[in-house]
Amino acid sequence: SPMSIILKFTLMLLLGTVAQQLYNIVDTVIVGRFVDPLALAAVGSTGTIMFLMFGTSNGMVSGFSIVTSQKYGAGDEKGVKASVTNGLYLSLAIAALITVIGLAFMRPLLKLMNTPSDIFDYAIIYISTICGGIVCVILYNYCASLMRAVGNSKMPLIFLLCSAATNVGLDLLFIIRFHLGTYGAALATIIAQGLAVIPCIIYIY
What are the pLDDT digits (tens) for 40-55?
A: 999 989 988 988 888 8
Q: Please list the alpha-helical segments (H only) found in the chain.
A: 2-34, 37-45, 47-73, 77-112, 117-132, 134-149, 154-172, 181-204
What are the pLDDT digits (tens) for 54-75?
A: 888 888 898 999 999 999 999 9
What are the pLDDT digits (tens) for 104-163?
A: 999 999 999 999 999 999 999 999 999 999 999 999 999 999 999 999 999 999 999 999
| Neighbour tally for 117: CB within 10 Å | 7
CB-based contacts of 203, cutoff 8 Å, min separation 6: 147, 155, 159
AA identity, residue 156: P
